[in-house]
Amino acid sequence: MAATAPQPERFAPAFRDELSRLMRWRRDVRHFRPDPVDEALLDRCLDAFRLAPSVGLSEPWRILRLDSETARQAARANFEAANAAALAGYDGEKAALYPRLKLSGMDRAPVQLAVFCDEATPQGAGLGAATMPEMRRYSVVAAISMFWLAARAEGLGVGWVSVLDPDRLCRDLAVPDDWSLVAYLCIGWPEVERDHPELEEVGWERRAEALHVEGR
């Protein structure tokens, strides 16, 4: 007698609709209320890292929470220097618009995390990463995405600050030499709710109307 094939896990249409809605409302938040975030709630969101996929089961993410004024001031000074350098690289309409963009929530976000990739972790024994070492960083990005959705489901907003000098931040935070910065995240309660990109709203760029998939 042939064995019965296992049935894949399926989710109800209502859940799928809610998941789609969650992804639409997963916006990069830069405007935060200063209200504190409950520690138990934050821990629930951070647990999403443990559910994320990782190359060779290496779990290479390393997370630092910046609570001290010294650490936050270093990150803020880093952003301001990088932001000034970025502005100098634009001209015309972009140069006029750039100073009006809100590119960081560092001034008000109650929770700020620096997320690193441990490039030398022995966990996973190099499976997959020996041929494609960048997969460790991709694994960290995947974990951040899981965390982001978990936070949004709780009503929290997340902002990813990429206008930074990563090497300088690593030095300022005195992390191990084998750690590379992947993300600086600002977390808190959104001041404004959006289901569309703020950069599209202010006229910086437009979202593509359709996804193009090419065949070979």
pLDDT(70) > 70: yes
Confidence of residue 4 (pLDDT cuts 50, 70, 90): confident
Query: CA-to-CA distance for 162 and 144, rounded, in angstroms?
Result: 14
pLDDT(80) > 70: yes
Contact 71, 59 (CB under 8 A): no
Beta bridge partners of 157: 188
Domain 28-190, classified CATH 3.40.109.10, yes or no = yes
Average pLDDT value over all residues in the chain: 95
Residues 6+ apart with CB under 8 A from 208: none
Domain ranges of the chain: 28-190
pLDDT at 5: 80
CB neighbours (10 Å) of residue 47?
12
3-state helix, strand, coil in the chain (%, to 5): 40, 15, 45
**Burial class of residue 195 (count of CB atoms within 10 Å of its CB; 0-12, 13-18, 19+):** exposed
- What are the pLDDT digits (tens) for 39-58? 999 999 999 999 999 999 99
